């Protein structure tokens, strides 16, 4: 059957929008006949090879372009915030870098996050004479629970400053609580970017429960290599969006709200609480630690950065095991701990040390690193040519009867001020023993240890802060099974101004800097200037780049009639940023010392910094005249006459100057 003209015209008109089956039904024709006509009349030419390639590229590009646009959009919207390791605040004109307090947010997607790290500063552009050290680790590296002035890395800095007088020393602490070697691995690239001369590592206590750890609420599986690979995706905001979306859906399905989870950060991070010695979870944690240390040390070695990695210390004698489990292979931790106490009381200290360590290793709540971790540290240091820091050995040798306890520890693993001082001193000494090329330390300039201990400037306020933070910690799991709602802090009444400020700081009502400033002001108002200076100097250890802090210290020293100290403080402020107040004060100090020319220079600079300060301009004229520089003195009075002709005493002073000149330059 042949198609008539009308049927052909219909097919010609509709074949692009309708298929052959529908056209055949409309025209009441066999479908095969319609298909044959379309194929004969409109033959399809096969795509060329180039066309096929182009079509494939376009097809594949569509999802890529989608994710590219999504990624760019998320970046423009600053989704996830700034997650770089370092930030360069505008308040310091971008000159100084410091730890980004939100860097760690990318690791904590199931737990309420917190402001991390002490964050002391370093110059963005490393000077030619710079010697820069980065300190890596978790809460002990951060020197919890001490404030900024109690950080052990600052002791290292103080000692290096003395023995390297020609170098610009920076010891940059980037320790972050609740993290482990996964975080240290993530930091490597950005640390290398800022040209470290050495890296110091104290890490291992959080390996099980820290962020991404094998037993953490923030874990991503038990394969360290795969976890490290996935961490590279954190730089993409699309990945963060996907991760957060999965977490949100999971929370909705389970009714979980991380903001409402009770307990300390320790408790919230420990997803898998009990981990018996030699269990599968325990062995997985060891593999994780070994694998990550291998990866970290290998990269630093490849980049010729010396690494100083420390053995780990914890409270053996005065911290009972948190949780005891008896297994087929091991006794209960509590049983061994009781045996250790008996051995210690009997004076069998060598036996007691071994038993205390075994009890610590048996403790199934693994907030204290087991002995095997120190063996791993020593082996990895040897394998990768890193410097092993014998911290455990050093502290053990100085502990009472060779057993680390409350003489160096506050609770289960955080050192007290003596412990942190010993840590800083040990890191420094091992750095000096390494004799790094080009360091050329002058050890004759090193002062007595007590000088550096006092330079921590730990005050009553600092010690009360420590007390409150430890009380809050030990009133929660794992120190107690359930917190007492009527216990600390609910029933606590602060005693005195220092205790009140410390309590408010720990409860996060005020910041550390505010607490230190308010304490200093209270001492100042009560004429206790030396104690006020101690508070300010403690704050300055944390923010040595803050001009205002040095200037305030200078003011306090003047109040205490310690002119020499005042000059030192004010000169530090002046070198950071000259201000009218600093120049005016320095001018008057130099005038009193009869350094008239220097006094005039400071006073004229004070006026330049604040043209309303006619008092300094007038005093500069007096300083020049006192140095028999009458032309300069007269020129200043001319300037003052133009700007403030009614300044009190100006006309009498001008007349006095004229008389002095007429008498041949003799001032009366």
CA distance 479 to 488: 13
Q: Are 373 and 360 in contact (CB under 8 A)?
A: no
Place of tokens 């291998």: 294
In this prediction, residue 648 carries a pLDDT of: 92
CB atoms within 10 A of CB 79: 15
The residues pairing with 591 across neighbouring beta strands, listed in sequence order, are none
* Alpha helix positions (H), 137-176: 139-142, 152-163
**Residues 129, 133, 138, CA angle at the centre, nearest 5°?**
160
Place of tokens 């610590």: 360
DSSP state, 642? H
Number of Cα atoms under 13 Å in the Cβ half of residue 357: 18
In this prediction, residue 214 carries a pLDDT of: 82
Q: Residue 615 class from Cβ within 10 Å (0-12 exposed, 13-18 middle, 19+ buried)? A: middle
Regions of the chain where pLDDT drops below 70: 1, 45-48, 51-52, 55, 67, 78, 80-81, 108-119, 217-222, 239, 243-244, 246-272, 663-668
Q: Are 547 and 579 in contact (CB under 8 A)?
A: yes
SS (H, E, C) 489-555: CCCCCCCCHHHHHHHHHHCCCCCHHHHHHHHHHHHHHCCCHHHHHHHHHHHHHHCCCCHHHHHHHHH
The residues pairing with 151 across neighbouring beta strands, listed in sequence order, are none
Query: Which of 347, 237, 215, 378 is closest to 288 using CA atoms?
Result: 215
In this prediction, residue 29 carries a pLDDT of: 84
Q: Which pair of structure tokens corresponds to residue 516?
A: 């230190």
CA distance 71 to 293: 32
CA distance 325 to 275: 9
Tens digits of per-residue pLDDT, 450-493? 999 999 999 999 999 999 999 999 988 888 888 888 888 888 99
Coil, strand or helix: which one is 439?
Answer: coil
Query: Which of 313, 307, 312 is closest to 200 using CA atoms?
Result: 307
What does pLDDT average to over the chain? 88
Output the CA torsion 424→426→429→431 (10° steps).
-80
Q: Residue 446 class from Cβ within 10 Å (0-12 exposed, 13-18 middle, 19+ buried)? A: middle
Task: For residue 134, give Cα distances in angstroms to 167, 174, 175, 306.
Answer: 16, 7, 9, 11
The residues pairing with 134 across neighbouring beta strands, listed in sequence order, are 172, 199
In this prediction, residue 119 carries a pLDDT of: 60
pLDDT > 70 in the chain, percent: 90
For the chain, give me the number of helices (H) and strands (E)?
28, 8
Q: Are 176 and 183 in contact (CB under 8 A)?
A: yes
In this prediction, residue 1 carries a pLDDT of: 58
Q: Are 308 and 200 in contact (CB under 8 A)?
A: yes
Task: For residue 273, give Cα distances in angstroms to 214, 258, 617.
Answer: 11, 18, 70
Q: Dmax of the chain from CA atoms?
A: 138
In this prediction, residue 320 carries a pLDDT of: 96
Number of Cα atoms under 13 Å in the Cβ half of residue 389: 26
Q: Are 156 and 431 in contact (CB under 8 A)?
A: yes
CA distance 486 to 119: 35
CB atoms within 10 A of CB 66: 11
Q: What share of the chain is helix, strand, coil (3-state, %, to 5)?
A: 55, 5, 35
Q: Which residues of 358-368 are buried (b: 16+ CB within 10 A; e: fewer)?
A: bbbbbbbbbbb
Cα of 507 vs its chain's centroid, Å: 20
Task: For residue 50, give Cα distances in angstroms to 43, 61, 63.
Answer: 20, 16, 21
Task: For residue 317, give Cα distances in angstroms to 277, 338, 396, 417, 635.
Answer: 20, 10, 11, 18, 76
In this prediction, residue 218 carries a pLDDT of: 56
Tens digits of per-residue pLDDT, 369-426? 999 999 999 999 999 999 999 999 999 999 999 999 999 999 999 999 999 999 999 9
Query: Which of 323, 370, 362 is closest to 204 using CA atoms?
Result: 370
CA distance 100 to 118: 10
* Alpha helix positions (H), 560-666: 563-576, 580-592, 596-609, 614-626, 630-643, 650-662
């Amino acid at each position: 059957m042949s198609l008539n003209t009308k049927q052909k015209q219909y097919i010609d008109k509709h074949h692009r929008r309708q298929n052959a089956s529908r056209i055949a039904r409309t025209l009441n024709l066999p479908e095969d006949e319609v298909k044959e006509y379309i194929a004969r009349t409109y033959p399809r030419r096969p795509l060329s090879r180039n066309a096929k390639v182009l079509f494939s590229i376009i097809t594949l590009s569509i999802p890529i372009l989608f994710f590219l646009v999504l990624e760019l959009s998320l970046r423009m919207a600053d989704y996830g915030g700034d997650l770089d390791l370092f930030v360069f605040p505008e308040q310091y004109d971008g000159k100084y870098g410091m730890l980004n307090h939100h860097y760690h947010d990318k690791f904590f997607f199931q737990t309420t996050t917190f402001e991390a790290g002490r964050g002391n500063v370093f110059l963005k552009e490393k000077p030619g004479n710079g010697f820069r050290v980065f300190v890596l680790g978790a809460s002990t590296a951060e020197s919890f629970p001490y404030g900024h002035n109690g950080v052990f890395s600052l002791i290292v800095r103080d000692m290096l400053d003395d023995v390297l007088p020609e170098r610009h020393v920076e010891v940059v602490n980037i320790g972050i609580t609740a993290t482990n070697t996964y975080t240290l691995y993530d930091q490597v690239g950005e640390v290398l970017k800022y040209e470290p001369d050495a890296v110091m590592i104290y890490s291992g206590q959080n390996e099980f429960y820290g962020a991404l750890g094998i037993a953490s609420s923030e874990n991503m599986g038990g394969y360290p290599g795969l976890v490290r690979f996935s961490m590279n995706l954190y730089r993409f905001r699309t990945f963060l969006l996907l991760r957060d979306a999965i977490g949100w859906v999971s929370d909705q399905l389970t009714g979980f709200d991380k903001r409402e989870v009770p307990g300390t950060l320790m408790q919230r991070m420990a997803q898998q609480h009990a981990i018996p010695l030699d269990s599968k979870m325990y062995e997985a944690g060891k593999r994780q630690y070994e694998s990550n240390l291998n990866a970290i040390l290998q990269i630093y070695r490849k980049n010729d950065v010396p690494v100083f990695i420390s053995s780990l210390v914890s409270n053996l004698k005065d911290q009972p095991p948190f949780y005891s489990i008896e297994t087929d292979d091991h006794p209960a931790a509590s049983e061994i701990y009781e045996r250790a106490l008996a051995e210690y009381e009997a004076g069998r200290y060598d036996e007691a040390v071994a038993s205390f360590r075994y009890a610590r290793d048996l403790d199934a709540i693994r907030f204290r690193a087991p002995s095997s971790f120190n063996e791993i540290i020593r082996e990895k240091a040897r394998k990768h040519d890193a410097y092993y820091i014998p911290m455990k050995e050093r502290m053990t040798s100085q502990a009472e009867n060779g057993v680390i306890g409350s003489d160096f520890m506050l609770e289960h693993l955080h050192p007290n001020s003596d412990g942190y001082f010993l840590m800083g001193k040990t890191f420094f000494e091992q750095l000096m023993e390494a004799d790094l090329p080009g360091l050329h330390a002058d050890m004759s300039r090193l002062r007595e240890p007590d000088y550096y201990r006092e330079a921590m400037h730990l005050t009553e306020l600092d010690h009360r802060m420590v007390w409150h933070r430890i009380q809050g910690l030990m009133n929660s799991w794992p120190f107690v099974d359930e917190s007492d709602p009527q216990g600390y802090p609910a029933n606590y009444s602060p005693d005195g101004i220092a205790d009140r400020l410390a309590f408010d700081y720990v409860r996060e009502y005020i910041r550390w800097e505010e607490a230190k400033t308010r304490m200093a002001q209270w001492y100042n108002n009560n004429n206790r200037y030396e104690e006020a200076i101690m508070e300010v100097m403690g704050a300055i250890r944390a923010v040595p780049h803050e001009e205002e802090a040095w200037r305030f210290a200078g003011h306090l020293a003047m109040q205490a009639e310690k002119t020499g100290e005042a000059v030192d403080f004010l000169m530090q402020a002046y070198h950071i940023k000259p201000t009218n107040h600093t120049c005016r004060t320095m001018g008057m100090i130099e005038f009193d010392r009869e350094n008239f020319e220097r006094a005039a220079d400071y006073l004229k600079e004070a006026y330049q910094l604040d043209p309303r300060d006619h008092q300094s301009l007038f005093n500069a004229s007096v300083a020049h005249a006192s140095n028999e520089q009458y032309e300069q003195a007269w020129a200043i009075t001319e300037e003052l006459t133009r700007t403030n002709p009614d300044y009190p005493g100006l006309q009498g002073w001008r007349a006095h100057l004229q008389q002095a000149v007429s008498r041949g330059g003799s001032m009366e």
